[in-house]
Amino acid sequence: MKLFRTASGAALAAFIAGPALAAVTVIGDSSAQQCSDAAYHDRADEASVEICNQAIENSMLGRRDLSGTYINRGVIYMNRGNFEGAREDFNRAIQVDPDIGEAWVNRGAIDILDKRFKDGISDIDKGLSLGTQEPAKAYYNRGVAYESIDDEKSAYLDYQEALTLEPNWDLPKQELLRFTVTRKDPNAPAQ
């Protein structure tokens, strides 16, 4: 199978315009739950950051919920354009509980924004191996990274997987429209 892109860099532009981030459901402490809700609803206001700060500083959260709260605050930081703060929170989440896939997937998104595509692929691979609540976002982001290092076949397959998992999601649909797939003639001479 040979793939051709029709617009170079369009996936990265779409990614930067609206990164596909994964939040973590945290149940229990009300401020941690409110932080989780803010991340799921793509909030970027200071009040949402403050709720997350309160949950981290004042709550008696277990390891998994504390890690999830760092992830959720990191998502809010991403929505605010504070990529450095987001990276710090995803790193903290991994330190607290390295078995939550969303921390790795989201750190991979930061890597991609920093044009560290191979690091992004590695982090997303780790997140997918651990499991994530929203794997379509992981596949989409990894597709962006693959496309950015000119691995069109892997990018195409990841966009396709993202669309399979979330058939109504427009971003992978748009990316797939840019590819043309041709089959290699088995009788053609080798080049």
Architecture of domain 1-20+120-183: Alpha Horseshoe (1.25)
* Helix or strand run (H / E) with residue 5: strand 2-5
Contact 4, 179 (CB under 8 A): yes
Is domain 25-99 annotated with CATH 1.25.40? Answer: yes
Longest Cα–Cα distance in the chain = 69
Query: CATH 1.25.40 occupies which residues in the chain?
Result: 1-20+120-183, 25-99
Q: Please state, in angstroms and as integers, the Cα–Cα distance from residue 173 to each residue in 27, 164, 170, following that order.
A: 33, 10, 5
Q: Tens digits of per-residue pLDDT, 93-105?
A: 999 999 999 999 9
Q: What are phi and psi of 4, to 5 degrees?
A: -130, 135
- Tell me: pLDDT of 6 over 90: no
- Tell me: pLDDT of 4 over 80: no
Q: In terms of pLDDT, which residue wins out, 30 or 168?
A: 168
Q: Tens digits of per-residue pLDDT, 172-186?
A: 999 999 998 888 777
User: Could you give the percent of the chain with pLDDT greater than 70?
Assistant: 83
Residue 189 confidence (pLDDT): 74
Q: Tens digits of per-residue pLDDT, 14-63?
A: 444 345 566 666 665 588 899 999 998 989 999 999 999 999 998 789 99
The rounded radius of gyration (Å) of the Cα atoms in the chain is 18
